[in-house]
Amino acid sequence: MLERRKPLDLLLPLEGNASSRQSFNSNPKMTPLERLRTGVVLAREAVKAVSITAMEAIREGATFVGILSEEDELIDPFAQLDGPIWSEKPPQELFTLAYRYCEELTRREAGNFYHSFKFLPDEQRLAMCAVYAFCRRADDIADGDWLDRFPGSVGEEDPEAIEYRTKLEEHAKVETILDRDAYLNKITQLFFFRKKLSTCYSDVYSTDPVFLALKDSVEKYNIPRSVFGDLISGMEDDLYHNRYRTFDELYVYCYRVASVVGLMCIEIYGYEDENAQKYAESWGIFMQLTNVLRDVGEDIQRDRVYLPLDELENNDMTELELHDGKVVLNKHWEPYCHHYAKRARTYLKEARMLLPLLPRNVRYSPAAMIAFYDKILRKIEKAQGDVFTQRVKLSKAQKISLAATVYLRHRFLPGFLDPVWGGLAKLGILPKV
């Protein structure tokens, strides 16, 4: 069995916390009128879910003026504004436009994620889209070719940016893995990305639609700034490291780029039991470990190896074998993948413990993400660890059907039938969601 890392409350504080909310775990006796109202709500949600599933090809939000170009390209609706901020709160119409931008960005690029929260109540769905858009743009800067806007700055020569970069380099104690020009571009963009984040926790409003929508979501759901800052730190880490010697090192990276996303999400879902934070951490670890295994073939082409090097060496495998997928011929690769998946599922088990701690009307969302990645991990094992000849992924039809199944189970199935579903899932008759 491969090493398993304990939750980071032993290493870094879990700073996310939510304001007290009325308990949703209590189950007082309902009056006939309350039962009727509950039935009406469930019926309305069922109709909405069926409509969304059947009409996904109709992209209603994209028709809003200013979001799409004639070439069907997503455009920044505030791109023509000269200033980086509004000093006073803009009208509600601009918040609506910002949210629509984030939602369309999510539809286009989120893959598994959009299907996991498309059935949420409208306000929570839009907040999730704002959070995703923030994460997507940070990743696009660090690992893609996205050029962010930071009006009013002088770019790489900005004194604040230089001071920040110097401190970061002193802390990292290693040279960047990128060429100098690419590094300066990305580290400067991430610095100004942090400055935009500060608008979500101050009295000004960013003219970037992602941060305008995020500010509104942060204020509604009391999402702590630390989780967003940690995610940017994870993106900065990619500028200095492309190898991880131990699983402990990988765990810290997974926490920063994935667990913190889970901590953002649970603030939107709502919770009272603080154990939700620990399980959200494990949720992120499970998903990122799955990503790491799935993307081994693609990552090696970008000169990145996220698998712990000491584990490869201890299993008589070399980094060189990862090139061109030669490692699949090594007799140790498939057993290693099996044990890697087994370790990942110890975090999956804890991730599932998060679900009962969330309100019933939102449990489907993390359950769907968990189900998607569990399915991907199983497909990797079924392929005997071959993540080189083709990308292991779910088809759009699989995502839609799995999301609908998860929603049915967690939103409408009475709790007393959970053991029945679980038993049929073990027999392979129903999906394990």
Q: What is the pLDDT of residue 412?
A: 80
pTM: 0.84
Q: What is the pLDDT of residue 68?
A: 67
Residue 57 — very low, low, confident or very high, per pLDDT cuts 50/70/90? Answer: very low
Residues 228 and 252 in one domain: no
Residues 12 and 71 in one domain: no
Q: What is the pLDDT of residue 7?
A: 65
Q: What is the pLDDT of residue 11?
A: 39
- Please indicate, yes or no, if residue 431 is contained in any of the structural domains: no
Lowest mean pLDDT among 18-27, 198-207, 258-267, 403-412: 18-27
Q: What is the pLDDT of residue 37?
A: 52
Residues 9 and 123 in one domain: no
Which domain, by its residues, includes 166? Answer: 59-241
Coil, strand or helix: which one is 68? strand
Of residues 40, 7, 20, the one with CA closest to residue 267: 20
- The answer to whether residues 122 and 44 touch, using CB atoms and an 8 Å cutoff, is no
- Please indicate, yes or no, if residue 274 is contained in any of the structural domains: yes
- Please indicate, yes or no, if residue 409 is contained in any of the structural domains: no
Residues 359 and 348 in one domain: yes
Lowest mean pLDDT among 154-168, 169-183, 281-295, 398-412: 398-412
Q: What is the pLDDT of residue 46?
A: 46
Residues 104 and 225 in one domain: yes
- Please indicate, yes or no, if residue 387 is contained in any of the structural domains: yes
What total of structural domains would you count in the chain?
Answer: 2
Give the residue from 241, 262, 277 where a domain finishes. Answer: 241
Residue 286 belongs to domain with CATH number: 1.10.600.10
Is the per-residue pLDDT at 395 higher than 70?
yes
Residues 73 and 218 in one domain: yes
Percentage of the chain modeled with pLDDT above 70 = 84
What number is the average pLDDT over the span 225-240?
96
Residues 237 and 307 in one domain: no
Residue 54 — very low, low, confident or very high, per pLDDT cuts 50/70/90? Answer: very low
Q: What is the pLDDT of residue 147?
A: 87
Distances from the Cα of 47 to the Cα of 24, 50, 51, 119, angstroms: 24, 5, 6, 11
One-letter amino acid for residue 22 of the chain: Q
Residues 229 and 332 in one domain: no
Residues 94 and 192 in one domain: yes
Residues 156 and 223 in one domain: yes
Give the residue from 216, 241, 266 where a domain finishes. Answer: 241
Burial label, 144 (beta-carbon count in 10 A; 0-12, 13-18, 19+): exposed
- Please indicate, yes or no, if residue 401 is contained in any of the structural domains: no
- Please indicate, yes or no, if residue 413 is contained in any of the structural domains: no
Residue 74 — very low, low, confident or very high, per pLDDT cuts 50/70/90? Answer: confident
Q: What is the pLDDT of residue 2?
A: 76
- Please indicate, yes or no, if residue 257 is contained in any of the structural domains: yes
Is the per-residue pLDDT at 115 higher than 90?
no
Residues 163 and 281 in one domain: no
Is the per-residue pLDDT at 225 higher than 70?
yes
Number of neighbours of residue 308 by Cβ within 10 angstroms = 22
Residues 236 and 321 in one domain: no
Residue 66 — very low, low, confident or very high, per pLDDT cuts 50/70/90? Answer: low
Give the residue from 224, 241, 258 where a domain finishes. Answer: 241
What number is the average pLDDT over the span 43-48?
49
Q: Which residue has the higher pLDDT, 412 or 261?
A: 261
